[in-house]
């Protein structure tokens, strides 16, 4: 088999990996993407004129991520019919009566037209893949079986695949998700835990027309979240004990709808369940973000409680910084895997990612606790935060990705 040497070799063509492939290819670098999912799953059925149903996996994309997606020329190509802007974020305890509005952040308070958009992961990924150009070589479906970092003198590292043989790159990017195989092959350890709870996700049709608010109700059993979708639809997230979540996920749609109506606040209105599934809740943080010529981005470096919908936003922030530093090294004639730049990337992103992960854990512990003292603390916290202008503005801007 012929030797394939690229400037940048990315393992994992998910949202984060694909965005980096585009950025580097736009700078004229030769990029390889190795993805285990068959290409067919990335192609919409052009012969089918009907709008496909909304996929179960959706993400809240904040303003900073939107900027990154604009910069790489993807945002402009996202189908408007699959995007839902949200202009308010609300957190409350117990019922949702007007006297108990908890804490609400609005776009107008921050002088913004909106705080972010909800979009399906697959639509975003597809839009990126459609922009892949002649500088990107796709190895798909393919899975990495080994890593060799022996060619330090030659200035590259290689991976082996059963399907395409050996593929080499000057910089290897692990964007292969939370179970990253490249991370393991590079000998990078990680720490973290599985939370005792899991979450049920359901795509539903709603009685009410399209909403522009995303809300979370905190209950003693765990949060219940509402994310608006295009049209009269929503994505609901129900956090609870693992056994309960698994049992809910197996219910027929009509029965699950009845359970949701009982457990979610009345302001949800009537719903019909279209799709359902469940996800474990994991916290994982890599012990370091680089080793030799391998560097980690996105979920391969960190996975976070999805409570505040920040996972892929952190991944896009990793991607933006890594691209900036690597392109700077390129302009200065330095090695693309220069250890100083990889160290700088790790130090900067570790700090920001850890802050968000710890904030989510603090929130999660506080709001899932049944201790009276913590219950009082969170009630006071919600009330105090609701009144504290500058603090509230900072939290709102942080959640919308407008501040570090």
Ligand X SMILES: Cc1cc2nc3c(=O)[nH]c(=O)nc-3n(C[C@H](O)[C@H](O)[C@H](O)COP(=O)(O)OP(=O)(O)OC[C@H]3O[C@@H](n4cnc5c(N)ncnc54)[C@H](O)[C@@H]3O)c2cc1C
Phi first, then psi: give them for residue 33, nearest 5 degrees: -120, 125
Token digits of residue 322: 């890594």
Residue 206 or residue 276: which is nearer to ligand X going by CB? 276
- 349: three-class secondary structure by DSSP: helix
Q: Total number of residues binding ligand X (CB under 6 A)? A: 32
- Residue 85's H or E segment, with its range, is strand 84-86
Instruction: Choose, by CB under 6 A, the member of 102, 228, 306, 401 that binds ligand X.
Output: 306
Q: Return the number of the residue (4 or 375) whose C-beta is nearest ligand X.
A: 4
177 binds ligand X (CB under 6 A): yes
Q: How many of the other CB atoms lie within 10 Å of CB of 96?
A: 17
CB of 384 to ligand X, least distance (A): 26
Beta partners for residue 239, in sequence order: 199
Which of 7, 14, 66, 198 forms a contact with ligand X (CB under 6 A)? 14
Residue (163 or 207) nearer to ligand X, CB: 163
Structure-token pair, residue 113: 């037209």
Nearer to ligand X among residue 102 and residue 116 (C-beta): 116
Q: In this structure, what are the phi and psi dihedrals at residue 69, rounded to the nearest 5 degrees?
A: -70, -30
Site string for ligand X, 188-207 (x = CB under 6 A): -----------x-x------
- Distance separating alpha carbons of residues 218 and 213, to the nearest angstrom: 16
Residues between 242 and 301 that touch ligand X (CB under 6 A): 279, 298-299
Q: Is 315 in the site for ligand X (CB under 6 A)?
A: yes
Contact 138, 35 (CB under 8 A): yes
15 binds ligand X (CB under 6 A): yes
For residue 176, state whether it binds ligand X (rule: CB under 6 A): yes
60 to 89, contacts with ligand X by CB under 6 A?
Answer: 60
Out of 6, 7, 9, 17, the only residue in the binding site for ligand X (CB under 6 A) is 17
Q: Show the site string, 135-154: x = touches ligand X by CB under 6 A, - = not.
A: --------xx----------
| Tally of CB atoms within 10 A around 126 | 20
- Nearest-approach distance from CB 90 to ligand X, in angstroms: 15
Closest to ligand X by CB, 71 vs 154, is 71
Angle at 389 between CA 388 and CA 394, to 5 degrees: 100
Does the footprint of ligand X cover residue 223 (CB under 6 A)? no
Shortest Cβ 302–ligand X spacing (Å): 9
- 113's CB contacts (< 8 A; 6+ apart) are 85, 87, 107
Which residues have C-beta within 8 Å of that of residue 27, sequence separation ≥ 6? 327, 330
CB of 371 to ligand X, least distance (A): 27
At 104, phi and psi to the nearest 5? -125, 130
- Measured from the CB atom, is 7 or 299 closer to ligand X? 299
CB of 113 to ligand X, least distance (A): 20
End-to-end Cα distance, the chain: 47
Give yes or no for residue 34 binding ligand X (CB under 6 A).
Answer: yes
Give 173's strand partners.
Answer: 10, 295
Q: Which residues sit opposite 117 in a β-bridge? A: 61, 85
Task: State which residue, 179 or 261, has the beta carbon closest to ligand X.
Answer: 179
List phi, psi (to 5°) of 47.
Answer: -80, -15
Q: Does 310 bind ligand X (CB under 6 A)?
A: yes
- The reply on whether position 181 binds ligand X by CB under 6 A is yes
Tell me if 59 contacts ligand X by CB under 6 A.
Answer: yes
Choices 15-23, 85-93, 358-366, 379-387; region in contact with ligand X by CB under 6 A: 15-23
| Residue 230: its H or E element | none
Q: Is 359 in the site for ligand X (CB under 6 A)?
A: no
Vertex 89: Cα angle to 84 and 94 (nearest 5): 120
Q: Which residues bind ligand X (CB under 6 A)?
A: 11-17, 34-37, 59-60, 121, 143-144, 175-177, 181, 199, 201, 279, 298-299, 306, 309-313, 315
């Amino acid at each position: 088999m012929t030797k394939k040497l690229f400037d940048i070799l990315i393992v994992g063509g998910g949202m984060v990996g694909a965005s980096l492939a585009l950025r580097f290819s736009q700078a004229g670098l030769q990029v390889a993407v190795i993805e285990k999912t068959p290409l067919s799953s990335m192609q919409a059925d052009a012969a089918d004129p009907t709008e496909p149903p909304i996929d179960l996996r959706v993400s809240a994309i904040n303003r900073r991520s939107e900027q990154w997606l604009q910069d790489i020329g993807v945002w402009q190509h996202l189908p408007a019919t699959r995007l839902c802007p949200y202009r308010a974020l609300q957190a409350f305890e117990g019922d949702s009566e007007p006297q108990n509005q908890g804490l609400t952040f609005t776009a107008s308070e921050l002088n913004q037209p909106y705080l972010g958009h909800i979009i399906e992961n697959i639509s975003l990924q597809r839009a990126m893949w459609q922009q892949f150009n002649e500088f990107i070589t796709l190895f798909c479906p393919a899975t990495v079986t080994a890593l060799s970092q022996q060619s330090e003198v030659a200035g590259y590292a290689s991976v082996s695949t059963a399907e395409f043989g050996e593929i080499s790159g000057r910089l290897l990017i692990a964007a292969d998700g939370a179970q990253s195989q490249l991370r393991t092959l590079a000998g990078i350890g990680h720490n973290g835990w599985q939370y005792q709870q899991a979450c049920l996700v359901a795509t539903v049709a709603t009685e009410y027309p399209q909403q522009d608010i995303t809300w979370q109700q905190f209950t003693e059993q765990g949060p219940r979240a509402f994310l608006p979708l295009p049209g009269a639809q929503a994505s609901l997230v129900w956090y609870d004990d693992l056994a309960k979540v698994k049992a809910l996920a197996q219910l027929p749609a009509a029965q699950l709808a009845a359970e949701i109506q009982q457990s979610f606040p009345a302001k949800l209105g009537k719903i019909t369940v279209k799709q359902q599934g469940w996800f474990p809740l994991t916290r994982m943080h890599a012990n370091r973000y680089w080793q030799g010529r391998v560097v980690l981005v996105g979920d391969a470096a960190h996975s976070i409680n999805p409570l505040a919908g920040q996972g892929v936003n952190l991944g896009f922030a990793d991607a933006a910084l890594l691209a900036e530093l690597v392109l700077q090294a390129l302009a200065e004639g330095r090695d693309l895997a220069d250890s100083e730049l990889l160290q700088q990337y790790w130090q900067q992103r570790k700090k920001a990612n850890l802050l968000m992960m710890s904030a989510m854990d603090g929130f999660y512990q506080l709001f899932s606790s049944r201790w009276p003292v913590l219950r009082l603390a969170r009630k006071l916290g919600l009330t105090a935060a609701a009144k504290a202008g500058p603090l509230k503005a900072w939290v709102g801007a942080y959640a919308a990705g407008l501040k570090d």
